[in-house]
Structure 1
Amino acid sequence: MCLCSAAPPDKEGRCGDYQLLACCFGTLCVILLLVVIGTLNVSESRNTNLTGENLQLKTINKNLADQVKTMKAAWNEFSGTLAQKSVDAYCPKVGSVRTCQACPKDWLLNLGNCYAYNDAKYSDQRTWAGAREDCSGKISDLTAVNYVFTISVPQTGITGFWIGLRAVNGIWKWINGTNLINQPAADGQCVTSLSGSGWRSVSCSTPNAWICEKKAVSV
């Protein structure tokens, strides 16, 4: 508290005003100081939070980088394995010599294409969709040519081979997108082929053998 020294009567009012002003100014300074301290505390808290978040982001980035590195290593290993499988499939090794061919081992070459006849026993035969999935795993698809049934293949216990032709919205459609015109089609039906018997329309869910097709390679 500010005190005024003794003063003539005509100066007492002025001293009181000065004292009040000084007290108000002091109070304002205290308030400002508290505001500054509070602001500094909030700023420090935010900086601490940001530092923590930055550390979390760095940890996340490191984990992502490690995952990418692991995935790259796995991909390189897979690519190497796949490449080796391709070499072994197209260039089988007999003794110490590799002999390359246009089609993988056990596939038949015909007019620039390779065909795999999956003449499985009945318990291992597949639906049309299952057969196509198997072909996809062999980097091929169900055959989409209409003369393939003329090729002689083992037929013991085989009633037909799935080919890449099925009914879609009332139209016979090849898997390559072309339509078979002037032929009625019922959805849920797919086509099998058998040497000497032509085509048959059967339920796509019926198990059958199947034929995969892919392009032959140049050797």
Structure 2
Amino acid sequence: MENIRDNEVYSTGTVNNDKYSPESEAEEEPTALTRSRLYLAGLGIFGALVAGTVIYMSVKMAVQRENINDLTTERNILIKERKLVENQELRQDNDNGCYTCLDDWILFRQKCYMFYDKPAPWKTWEQSRRFCQKNSSDLVVIGDLEEQEFVSKHIKYYHSEHHGYWIGLQHVNNTWTWVDGQRDTLGMEDRVNHDSYSTVPVTKDKLSPERDESQLISVWSFIHEDQSSGEAEEEPTAFTKSRLYLVGLGIFVGLVTTTLIYMSVRMATVLENIKDLKIKKSQLLLETTIMERQINALTLEIDKECGPCPDDWILFRQKCYMFYDEPAPWKTWEQSRRFCQDRRADLLAIGDLVEQKFINKHIKYYHSEHHGYWIGLQYVNNTWTWVDGQRDTLGFWAKNTVTSPGPKALVIPSQNPSESWKKENNEFLNKFICEHKARLRSN
């Protein structure tokens, strides 16, 4: 019996030893801590992949923005080129298709207008008129209400309500007179509408501090609840720390994923904008090409039909000359100049003796020995000055003249070319000579 009991005890001990042996513990599944570490490692890899994707898309976004800037710049250049082409096409329709307005000038009813909009310092009335005359023109003469409305449409408010744009109207001999010698019959007053300018305030939406703070408190409360899920008086175990890391990484991945979605949407919008810009660029290129072909065709047609000078003008050394030989009544110096300027020309400015001989060859005696042809020479600031702003250095004045000298110059027919100029007053009625540069043919 004792042997049997000993065997029973031994058998019982053997069974108990087999149940708690180390070999049985090694065969069990991984603990919760091990699984958390595996999850943590997986999420870390996923977060790294997402972060890499975000960086890649950020670089792509920067490249696409650069492409958009380039396309926008090209589009603006094409728009400017198109405007230039349109202006060139518009200029063909003036003076029978042969003569047009200069760059930055505006065509209206067979006249060209230049609105001086340079920054300060600006000019006095006399300086403004000399500036116009140097460009073979004069200060504007407003003929009717329609022309006044055109001018008002193209001027704008600047600096103060006391500033405006000089026009060719001045008070002479108790009368308001235009620079072409005509008396003013309109009597218009300028008006400025200050209410036509307004500003639009620009504001930016910002998140309120309360919203940001509430989001921060929500995250902290969530983490704090996770931390307080264990025993309050003990240090967090390794398993609790792993959970905290897991929660933090999950929040990070959520934020990165949201950013990735936002950037994907932005990328789609950017690509759509690029597509639209490319389409518009192609359309502008096509329209510009068509307009350039039309201008080339018009230019060829003009070259065939138009010579370097208008009809009844004479070509000499790449300039065109018009000798006014109409019967009386003739014109004053100012009226003669305005007549030339209306034809995109100006009174004659003689450059040398060769040109003077050419002029004397084409003028003829009429009415009396005191009459001649007005030229673009006048007495300004104690100096005889041409209408192009150059001081006279030739001095081809006639000798022994009997009339009292005036501030304007005539050229007298049948005289020695080097002694054929005569000083006269503006009111004396004479014929005159206009001059402008010849139109050169395109190759």
Fold agreement, TM-score > 0.5:
yes
Deviations 1:171-209 (A, max 9, x none): 2234494524679xxxxx5534353685344449x9964
Quote how far apart the aligned CAs of 1:17 are.
0.8
TM-score, scaled relative to structure 1: 0.56
Which of 193, 200, 211 is the equivalent residue of 2:434?
A: 211
Counterpart in 1 of 2:298?
78
Bigger strand fraction: 1
Counterpart in 2 of 1:45?
265
- Report percent identity of matched pairs: 17
Quote how far apart the aligned CAs of 1:167 are.
4.3
Distance in 2 between the 1:109 and 1:34 partners?
A: 83
Distance in 2 between the 1:124 and 1:202 partners?
A: 14
TM-score, scaled relative to structure 2: 0.32
Counterpart in 2 of 1:116?
322
Q: How does 1:15-94 map to 2 (within 5 A)?
A: 17-86=237-306, 89=307
Matched residue of 1:179: which SS? coil
Deviations 1:25-63 (A, max 9, x none): 221232122122112122113212321331343244234
Distance in 2 between the 1:80 and 1:119 partners?
A: 33
Distance in 2 between the 1:202 and 1:75 partners?
A: 47
Quote how far apart the aligned CAs of 1:141 are.
7.4
Q: Which runs of 5+ in 2 are unaligned?
A: 1-30, 34-230, 397-406, 415-419
8 Å CA contact 2:323, 2:363 repeated in 1? no
Question: 1:109/1:75 Cα in 2 relative to 1: closer, same or farther (>3 Å)?
Answer: closer
8 Å CA contact 2:319, 2:435 repeated in 1? no
**2:392 aligned with 1:179:** yes
Counterpart in 2 of 1:128?
337
8 Å CA contact 1:162, 1:208 repeated in 2? yes
Deviations 1:2-27 (A, max 9, x none): 989xxxxxxx9999513311321221
Question: 1:135/1:33 Cα in 2 relative to 1: closer, same or farther (>3 Å)?
Answer: closer
Question: 1:27/1:213 Cα in 2 relative to 1: closer, same or farther (>3 Å)?
Answer: closer
Distance in 2 between the 1:123 and 1:65 partners?
A: 55
Question: Which amino acid is the alignment partner of residue 348 of structure 2?
Answer: L
Matched residue of 2:343: which SS? helix
Q: How does 1:190-209 map to 2 (within 5 A)?
A: 190-195=408-413, 198-203=421-426, 209=432
Larger Rg: 2
Q: Which runs of 5+ in 1 are unaligned?
A: 5-11, 91-102, 184-188
Number of matched pairs: 183
Deviates more, 1:120-129 or 1:14-23: 120-129
Distance in 2 between the 1:124 and 1:46 partners?
A: 74
Matched residue of 1:195: which SS? coil
Distance in 1 between the 2:372 and 2:409 partners?
A: 9
Quote how far apart the aligned CAs of 1:163 are.
2.2
